[in-house]
A and B are shown apart, each in its own frame.
Chain A
């Protein structure tokens, strides 16, 4: 029972173009969503988050969009750079008794070609 799914295992993009990473969730109690980036031999690094009271959050080249009715979020990277090549994880949390619990997707490997 995977509550957070990243259905694309990998994505290849040309430098300067837009990268769009997608994430779907099934638990309607999730109200906070995060994106993490992971390089080999390092732990995941927080990128950007969004609360369910918003539908968009922007931070520099990174924008996260949330569509609550579709239970879908996406991460846009514009413009993509070779240094963005990494594994991207989306994660979700709910309040209440789920305090402290982050549920992660499987990750999407992004490769940005020069």
Chain B
């Protein structure tokens, strides 16, 4: 399998459930990202990992807990979510952190997990 894969593709959970989203990249990249896309809103960066270390937490509530066991895998653990957390959760990877300018690199996205919190 190539590129960035995400499982599950769809998830329905209650507010008291605990679930996990999984992302795997087969590109040999060192940086991985979680994004959230709510309806009619821009993609919003949640977390950034570089060489398994978290480098960015964009003020994300603690009910979202990321885990990066190695450079190829990224998880997002979910617990006690709210209905407003329903969204499309996208994982991405890049060779290195997007440094901007002439040294900028591209982020490659997975297909996303459509999450519905009831």
Q: Are B106 and A46 in contact (CB under 8 A)?
A: yes
Q: Are A93 and B40 in contact (CB under 8 A)?
A: no
* Contacts known (A94-B100, A99-B97); A44 close to B55, Cβ less than 8 A: no
Cross-chain pair count, CB within 8 angstroms: 82
Contact with B along A82-114 (1 / 0, CB 8 A): 000000010101110011111111110000000
Query: Size band of the B side of the interface?
Result: 20 to 34
Of A41, A100, A106, which one neighbours B33 at CB under 8 angstroms?
A100
Q: CA of A32 to CA of B94 in the docked complex: distance in angstroms?
A: 15
Asked if A58 is at the interface (CB within 8 A of a chain B CB), the reply is: no
Which residues of B62-117 are within 8 A (CB) of A? 90, 92, 97-102, 104, 106-112
Q: CA of A43 to CA of B23 in the docked complex: distance in angstroms?
A: 13
Q: CA of A94 to CA of B45 in the docked complex: distance in angstroms?
A: 14
Of A4, A99, A105, which one neighbours B55 at CB under 8 angstroms?
A99
The smallest beta-carbon distance between A17 and chain B, in angstroms, is 27
